[in-house]
Each structure stands twice: as structure tokens, then as C-alpha cells.
């Protein structure tokens, strides 16, 4: 963050999009995998928010990319992933309150199944689980993030907003 601010001036927008999924049922999940998932999915978001806020202009925008699994764990082996994404909901609420005096908004976008290199193999399964009968497109998620980073979204903060084609409906 410091290098970015040094190169471009103060920061206006920060988007945290780091995350991993290591599957395993709760009775067999290793502590090493648990610690790695928490470090990347939760700690990295915290550190990113903290660093961004230190370099950010008043009125800035922070957007975290979570997952609709914070609401619904639909498959076995995703409990730890879901837990990490649910932790982001609480983190965003608290950070929004902490940064409100500076008019910095903090929000969480919770995509459902989205067509990416990591998830494309599950496209047919998604058609049976999602009411809109398709996976989301990355451009749909990106445009939602773009809106939250805009001036028009200045009264939205502390929100976890789901974009999932009706998956958790």
C-alpha cells in the first residue's frame, strides 16, 4: 500500500480479492490447512483493510470479495471455507463503523458460483443449483464491485451483498 501511495498519491479504492479453498470434512481437516485458509481468507483481508485505511483519502472505498458460502454451505468439505467467508461479514461490519468518521465505506461482495478457471468444471452442476440456471460471469461481479467503489454507492457501508443468481434464495 505504501508503495502504491508513493507512486500514485493517496489511495481512493481498495479491493481485496485473495482467497483459497482447501476442501476437507471437519473430522479430517488438518490444522495446517485450517491455519493457511484463515491466513489467506481472513487475515489477509484484515491486513489489507488496515494498510489501505492508513493510506486512503477520506471518502475512500474498500470492497472485500467474500462468498455466498458465508450464508450457505451446500456441499460437504467446505465448512472451513464457509467459516472464513462468514468471518469477513463481521470484519466488514466492524471496519465500516471504525472508518465511518472518515466517510470510508467498507463492503463485502459475496459471489455465488462464477465461471472462472477454478470453477468452470462445475458449470453443469451449477445449472441444477442456481435458479437462473447458469454460473455468474466475472464481468457481472466486477461491475457490482465497480458500483460499490463509485460515488453513487456512498451511503452503502458495512453491507454483505450477494450476487449469486438466486443460489441462496
Q: How many helices (H) and strands (E) does the chain have?
A: 6, 4
Distance set, CA 24 to CA 9, 33, 36, 135 (Å): 43, 9, 13, 23
Sign of CA dihedral 29, 35, 39, 40: negative
| Whether residue 81 lies in the annotated active site | yes
- Are the C-beta atoms of 108 and 89 separated by less than 8 Å? yes
What torsion do the CA atoms of 127, 130, 134, 139 make, to the nearest 10 degrees?
A: -150
- Are the C-beta atoms of 73 and 28 separated by less than 8 Å? no
Which residues are catalytic, by number? 81
Amino acid at each position: 500500500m505504501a508503495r502504491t501511495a508513493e507512486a500514485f498519491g493517496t489511495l481512493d479504492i481498495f479491493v481485496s480479492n485473495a482467497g483459497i479453498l482447501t476442501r476437507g470434512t471437519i473430522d479430517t481437516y488438518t490444522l495446517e490447512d485450517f491455519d493457511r485458509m484463515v491466513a489467506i481468507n481472513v487475515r489477509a483481508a484484515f491486513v489489507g483493510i488496515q494498510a489501505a485505511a492508513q493510506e486512503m483519502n477520506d471518502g475512500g472505498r474498500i470492497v472485500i470479495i467474500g462468498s455466498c458460502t458465508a450464508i450457505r454451505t451446500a456441499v460437504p468439505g467446505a465448512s472451513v471455507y464457509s467459516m472464513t467467508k462468514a468471518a469477513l461479514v463481521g470484519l466488514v461490519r466492524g471496519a465500516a463503523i471504525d472508518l465511518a468518521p472518515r466517510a470510508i465505506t467498507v463492503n463485502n461482495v459475496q459471489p455465488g458460483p462464477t465461471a472462472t478457471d477454478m470453477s468452470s468444471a462445475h458449470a453443469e452442476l451449477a445449472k441444477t443449483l442456481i435458479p437462473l440456471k447458469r454460473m455468474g460471469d466475472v464481468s457481472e461481479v466486477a461491475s457490482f464491485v465497480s458500483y460499490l467503489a463509485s460515488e453513487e454507492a456512498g451511503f452503502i457501508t458495512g453491507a454483505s451483498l450477494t450476487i449469486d443468481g438466486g443460489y441462496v434464495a
